[in-house]
Structure formats: structure tokens, C-alpha cells
Amino acid sequence: MSHLGYIEDKDGNLVGLNYYCSDFCNSEHNVNYAGWNGCHENEHAEYCANCGTLIAPSYASEDYELTETI
């Protein structure tokens, strides 16, 4: 599960997403942070836009291996 930060153009249209491992990382990195926006399923592994932590997919859609522990 991931937290999302929306990237919008000047007209307010969604043009991209930043993935975050936690609400803390979202609030620290996202200049447009507007409150908790977590618990989103992600189909593929993504890296946190703030700290670089691997965010595992919500379901097994691809092979990946975690190589370090926190």
C-alpha cells in the first residue's frame, strides 16, 4: 500500500503521481500536501519519492526480492 502525491498542471489536471511509503514522507516531500492520502493499492513496486524505500506491490503481479531490512 502506498500514499500518493498528485502532480497537477497549471489548470489542475492530474499529470503524474509521486509514491510515498508513509504519510510522513508525503508531508515532508510534497509541497501540495493536503492531508492523509494513503492506503492505495499499487500494481508494481515503486520507490518512495522522499526516502527511496521500496514499496512492494499490493498483490503479486511481478517477481521482486527485498534485499535489505529496516
Are the C-beta atoms of 55 and 2 separated by less than 8 Å?
A: yes
- 33 belongs to a structural domain: yes
Query: Does the structure show a pLDDT above 60 at 61?
Result: no
- 13 belongs to a structural domain: yes
Query: Which one-letter DSSP state was computed for residue 63?
Result: -
Give the global pTM.
0.79
Q: Which domain holds residue 39?
A: 3-55
- 24 belongs to a structural domain: yes
Are the C-beta atoms of 46 and 1 separated by less than 8 Å?
A: no
- 49 belongs to a structural domain: yes
Tens of pLDDT, residue by residue over 5-27, are 999 999 999 999 999 999 999 99
